């Protein structure tokens, strides 16, 4: 993944990218049996999954079908836009295993969801339906099951038709200011 995102960032032929899963599931996270001996799967300075620590400079759309659990949710949260099937399910079940979402998912949840919704997801490990996350604004578009691929293509085309430097500057500014506090009068 890190190599693909490096190519996206440096390739002038690419304006945006779409990340999808296979076999009806986006990603169910890392192999917990391999974790004690192999450690967290990381891609250089991009971190977990080759994306969590340093997402690409160009727009990235996560097209989620099925499950996005644990590291899968963290990978989806690292994308700029999430397009999800109505029956998709998201979750951070790490707490059920004595772990916590250590690849940036907790921070991104806190920035993307209302406080109580973020805590519910982080503290219970429950799977949350895409419809609920759409209502909170985490998911940009909902599609019928199997439709996230078609919708993500449309979203990708919309970002590709915009001025690339303006898109890149807008993304950089929003990411850089996400943690700024709002001045009070």
Query: How many CA atoms are closer than 13 Å to the CA of 122, on its beta-carbon side?
Result: 20
- Answer whether residue 155 is part of any domain: no
Do 167 and 159 meet the contact criterion of CB atoms below 8 Å apart?
yes
Domains in the chain, number: 1
- Answer whether residue 183 is part of any domain: no
Question: Tens digits of per-residue pLDDT, 154-167?
Answer: 655 665 667 777 77
CATH number for position 93: 3.90.226.10
- Answer whether residue 159 is part of any domain: no
- Answer whether residue 172 is part of any domain: no
- Answer whether residue 168 is part of any domain: no
Domain extent for 47: 2-146
Residues of the chain with pLDDT under 70: 149-161, 178-185
- Answer whether residue 166 is part of any domain: no
What would the 3-class secondary structure string for 123-170 be? HHCCEEEHHHHHHCCCCCEEECCCCHHHHHHHHHHHHHCCCHHHHHHH
Q: Which residues are catalytic?
A: 74, 94
Torsion of CA 97, 91, 138, 109, to 10 degrees: -10
- Answer whether residue 38 is part of any domain: yes
Question: Tens digits of per-residue pLDDT, 48-64?
Answer: 888 988 889 899 999 99
- Answer whether residue 28 is part of any domain: yes
Q: What is the pLDDT of residue 31?
A: 78
């Amino acid at each position: 993944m890190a190599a693909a995102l490096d190519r996206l960032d440096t390739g002038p032929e690419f304006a945006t990218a779409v990340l999808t899963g296979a076999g009806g599931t986006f990603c169910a996270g890392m192999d917990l049996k391999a974790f004690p001996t192999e450690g967290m799967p990381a891609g250089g300075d991009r971190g977990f999954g080759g994306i969590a620590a340093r997402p690409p400079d160009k727009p990235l759309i996560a097209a989620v079908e099925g499950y996005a659990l644990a590291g899968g949710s963290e990978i989806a949260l690292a994308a700029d836009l999430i397009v999800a099937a109505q029956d998709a399910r998201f979750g951070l079940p790490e707490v059920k295993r004595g772990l916590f979402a250590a690849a940036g998912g907790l921070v991104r949840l806190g920035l993307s969801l209302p406080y109580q919704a973020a805590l519910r997801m982080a503290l219970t490990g429950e799977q949350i339906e895409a419809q609920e996350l759409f209502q909170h604004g985490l998911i940009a578009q909902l599609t019928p099951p199997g439709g996230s691929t078609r919708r993500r293509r449309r979203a990708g085309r919309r970002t590709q038709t915009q001025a690339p430097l303006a898109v890149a500057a807008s993304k950089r500014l929003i990411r850089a200011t996400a943690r700024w506090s709002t001045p009070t009068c």
